[in-house]
Structure 1
Amino acid sequence: MNRNFWITALIAFINSLSVTILIPIIYLYGKKFGLSDLQTSLLFSMYAIAQFFATPVIGKLSDRFGRKPLLIISLAGTVIANLIAGTATTASLVFLGRFLDGITGGNLSVAQAIISDITGPKDRAQAFGIFGAAMGLGFVLGPVTSLLAQKVSLGTAFLVSAAVALIALILTVVFLPETLPTPVAQTGNIFDLGLENLVKGLTKPGVGILLLINFCTGTTFTMFTYAFQPYFINVLQQSSESLTLLFLGFGTMAVIMQTWGVSVLKTKISVVKIMFLGLFFRSLSFVLMPVIPNISYFVIISILFSIFNSLVQPMISTLLSLNAQPQEQGMVMGLNASYLSISNGIGPVIAGVIVQQSHPITYGYPLYLAGILTFAVLFWAVKARNNYTPEVKSV
C-alpha cells in the first residue's frame, strides 16, 4: 500500500471519528427538542435521504473533475452543518444541519473511489478491509470522544464533530494529491440529480444486483441501529457509560476483523463467501439479541455480532469495485453510497413506526424483523451469486 493509500485511510479514520461522535447523541438530542420517537427517526432519515440525492452526483463529478475537489467540498459541508446543528435553538435548525451534512456527505464514496484508483484488483479486498478498519477505529474513539463532549452539553458533541471534520479537510487540502488517472469528458447537465443513473446502475452486469443487496442489508442494519440504543438503555436498564463501552467493543472487534481477519480469511475462502459469512452471523445476532432481556446475554450476542458484522460492507465494496469499469469507479461507488443512504432513510422510519415509547419492550421488535429480513437477503445473495462476481463462476 502506497503513501496516498495511507493518507486516504487516515482521512477516512478522522471522518469516521467525526460521524461516530454523533451516533450516541442524535436520539437524545432529538428528545431535548421534544421530538417523539417517530420524529427522531425522521431526524435520522433527513441526513440519509439528502445523501441519497447527492452522492450519485458527487461520485459522477469526482469522475469528471477529480477526487480531491469533491472530497474538499464534502468535508467542508460537514463542518458547516455540524456548527449549525450544534448551536441550534430550535428543532428546525437541527433538521437543517442534518440536511446540509447529508447533501454534501459524499466523502465516503469519493474516498472509496480513491482506493479503487490507487490499488490493483488483487490488493483491493485487503485495501478495503484496511479502509474499513480505519473507519472502525473511528467507531472505537468516536463514542468515547462523544461521552467527554456530552459532559459539557449534547450540542458540544456536534461542535467537536465539526472540529474533527475540519482536521480531515486540512489534511485533504495539504497532503492528498489528485488520484483520478483520466477524467471523464463532460457530458450532460452537471446539476442532474442522477436519478436516471440510479435506475441505469441496476442494469449494469455484476453491479446492479450488488447495489440491491447492499440496499437491503443497509435497510435492515439501520432498523437495528435505530432500535439498539433505546433497547439497551430502556429495556436492559443500562447507562450511557455502559453504552459507550459497548460501542468501544464493537469498534475494536471491527478493526481486528477488517485488518487481520480479512487477510486471513481471503487466503482460505473467496470474497463472496466472506460476505455470506458476515451476513449469516449478522442475521443470527439480530434475531438472538432481544430473546432474553439480560445484559450478560446481550453482551455475548453483541460480541458475536461485532466479530462478523464488520466483514459485510468491505466485501460488498470490493465486489462492486471488481465488477465496475475503471472509468466508472467513482460513479459506481457514488451509486452504492446513494442506495445505502436511502436504506438509511427507510430503516429508522420502519423501526420508529414499530416501537412505542410507552412499551419499551417494543424496542426489540425491529431487531427480530431485521434478523428475519437479513436472512432473506442472504438466501437471495447465495442463490444469485453467479450473476455478480466472476470469482464464483469457477467454484
Structure 2
Amino acid sequence: MNRALLTILATVVLSAIGIGLTMPIIPQLMRDVGHTSELGWRFGAFTGLYALMQFIFSPILGVLSDRIGRRPVLLLSLAGAVADYLFMAMAPSLALLFMGRAIAGITGASMAVTSAYIADVTPEDQRSRRYGQLGACFGIGFIIGPVIGGLLGEWWVRAPFLAAAAMNAVNLVLTLLVVRESHTARDSDVGAKGRMSFNPLTNLRWAASFKSLLPLIGASGLLVVIGEIGGTVWVLYGEDKFAWDSLTIGISLACFGAFHALAQAFIVGPIAERWGERRALMLGIAADSCAYVLIALANQGWMAFALMPLFCLGGIGAPALQSLVSASVGPDQQGKLQGVLASTASLATVIGPVAISTIYFMSRGSFPGLVWLIGAGLYVFCLPVLMRKSGMPPAAS
C-alpha cells in the first residue's frame, strides 16, 4: 500500500473521529444555546439536516473532482470543516448552530471524493479490499470519537467541537503534504465542462440512464436501509428484549464496532479476490439475513453477543457491491458515480430510520423482532443483482 493511500485512509479515521467527537454532546449544546430543556422536533431536524446536505452535495463534489481533480476538492472540504467546527464551537444561538450543521454536511460529502480517489489508484480486482479498509477506518474513528467526545464534554460542552477542528486541521496538513493528485483530466472531461450541472438530480438521472448500473445503485441504497435497522433499534431492542443497562449497551456497541472493523479490514479483500465480488456479496447477504432472523428470535442477551461475528460477516457485502459499481464506469466518471452512491446512501439514512422506528414502535408490544425479520426479507430484492451478468455501460457525460 503506497504512502498516499495510507494517508487517505488515515484522513478517513481522523474525519470519523471528528464527527464522532461531537455526537455525545450535541443534545446538551442545543439545550444550552436554545435555552430550553425540550428539544422536540429540533433534534430530529438537526440530525436530518446533515444527511440532507450530503444528499445534495455528494454528487456535486464528485462531479467537481472529475473536472478539477480529487486533491483540490479534498483540501477545500477539509479547510471548510476546520472553519465550520470552530464556528459551531462559538455559535451563540440555535439558528447559527443549524447553519454550522448544514456546512458540516457539505464538507462531510467529501467521502464521495475519497472513494473516487481509491478507485483511481486501485486495480479493479483489489477495490473490494480497499473499500473494506475504507469502511473499517471509518468504523474505527466512530469507536474512538464518541469516547473522547464524551470525556471532553464533561469538561466543557464546546470542547469536542474544538477537538474536531484540530482533527480536521491535522487532516488538512496531511493531505496537503502527502496526497498527490490521482485523476488527470481527459479529453472527455474537458469537452464536458461547458455542460457541467450542479443540480444533484441531474447526476441521479445520469445514473438511472444506465440499465446495468441502476440495479446496482438501488441495491446499494437498499443495503444502507437494511443496515440502518441496527443503528436505529439496537439500543431500544436491548432494553426491551434483554433488559440491558447502559453499561451493557455500551459494551455491545463497542464490540459490534470492533468486529465490524476487523471484518471489513481483513476479510472483505481475500474473499472478493478469491471468489469474486458477486459471491462475496452473496455471502454477506446470507450472513446478515441469518443474523437478522436469529436476533429476532433470540430470548437471552448473550445470544446477541454470540451473533456479532455473523452480523459483521454480513458487512462484507457493502464493499463488494461498491467495487462492482465502481467497475461499471470509466475512470473519468468515478467522482460522479461515487457522488451518486453517497447521495443515495444519505437519502436512505434520512428515510430509513423514520420507517424503521415507526415499525418498531408499532410492533414492540407484541413482537419487537418484527423489524429484524423485515430487514432479512428485504434482501430478496437484491437477488436480481446477484443473478445479473456483469458488464460496463457505455460512457456518458
- Which of the pair has more CA radius of gyration? 2
Q: Against the structure 1 CA distance between its residues 96 and 237, is the aligned structure 2 distance closer, same or farther, given a 3 Å change threshold?
A: farther
Letter paired with 2:266: W
Corresponding residue of 1:332? 337
TM-score by length of 2: 0.84
1:125 aligns with 2:131: no
1:329 is displaced (CA, Å) by 0.8
SS at match of 1:139: helix
For each residue in 1:111-138, what CA deviation from the matched residue of structure 2 results, as whole angstroms up to 9, or x when unmatched? 1111111111122222222222222322
Q: Which moved more, 1:70-79 or 1:224-233?
A: 224-233
Is 2:19–2:164's contact at 8 Å kept on the other side of the alignment? Answer: yes
Corresponding residue of 2:105? 102
Distance 1:226 1:30 in 2: 21
Distance 1:236 1:34 in 2: 29
Corresponding residue of 1:341? 346
Letter paired with 2:39: L
Identify the match of residue 246 of structure 1 among 242, 245, 252: 252
SS at match of 1:206: coil
Identify the match of residue 58 of structure 1 among 58, 61, 78: 61
1:30 is displaced (CA, Å) by 6.2
Is 1:44–1:348's contact at 8 Å kept on the other side of the alignment? Answer: no
Mapping for residues 180-259 of structure 1, pairs under 5 Å: 180-183=183-186, 184-185=189-190, 186-188=192-194, 192-232=198-238, 238=244, 241-259=247-265
Q: Against the structure 1 CA distance between its residues 235 and 243, is the aligned structure 2 distance closer, same or farther, given a 3 Å change threshold?
A: same
Q: Against the structure 1 CA distance between its residues 350 and 39, is the aligned structure 2 distance closer, same or farther, given a 3 Å change threshold?
A: farther
Is 1:75–1:165's contact at 8 Å kept on the other side of the alignment? Answer: yes
Distance 2:26 2:222 in 1: 23
Is 2:296–2:373's contact at 8 Å kept on the other side of the alignment? Answer: no
Corresponding residue of 1:379? 380
Identify the match of residue 317 of structure 2 among 273, 294, 312: 312
Distance 1:20 1:214 in 2: 24
CA RMSD of aligned residues (A): 3.2
Distance 1:153 1:361 in 2: 37
Is 2:130–2:269's contact at 8 Å kept on the other side of the alignment? Answer: no
Could you list the structure 1 runs, at least 4 aligned residues long, displaced by more than 6 angstroms after superposition.
Answer: 27-32
Letter paired with 2:310: L
Is 2:66–2:183's contact at 8 Å kept on the other side of the alignment? Answer: yes
Q: Against the structure 1 CA distance between its residues 344 and 77, is the aligned structure 2 distance closer, same or farther, given a 3 Å change threshold?
A: farther
Letter paired with 1:57: I
TM-score by length of 1: 0.84
Q: Against the structure 1 CA distance between its residues 308 and 44, is the aligned structure 2 distance closer, same or farther, given a 3 Å change threshold?
A: farther
Letter paired with 1:219: V
For each residue in 1:176-229, what CA deviation from the matched residue of structure 2 results, as whole angstroms up to 9, or x when unmatched? 111113352153465622312212202224322111111122123234313334
Distance 2:325 2:300 in 1: 39
- What 5-or-longer segments of structure 2 have no aligned partner? 393-397
Corresponding residue of 2:13? 13
Aligned residues: 385
SS at match of 1:187: helix
Distance 1:381 1:84 in 2: 43
Distance 2:156 2:363 in 1: 26
Corresponding residue of 1:3? 3
Distance 1:355 1:110 in 2: 35
Identity among equivalent pairs (%): 24
Distance 1:235 1:151 in 2: 31
Distance 2:152 2:363 in 1: 27
SS at match of 1:132: helix
Distance 1:261 1:299 in 2: 20
1:291 is displaced (CA, Å) by 4.8
- What 5-or-longer segments of structure 1 have no aligned partner? none
For each residue in 1:345-392, what CA deviation from the matched residue of structure 2 results, as whole angstroms up to 9, or x when unmatched? 112332454566xx9957x95x7435414532x22222333446359x
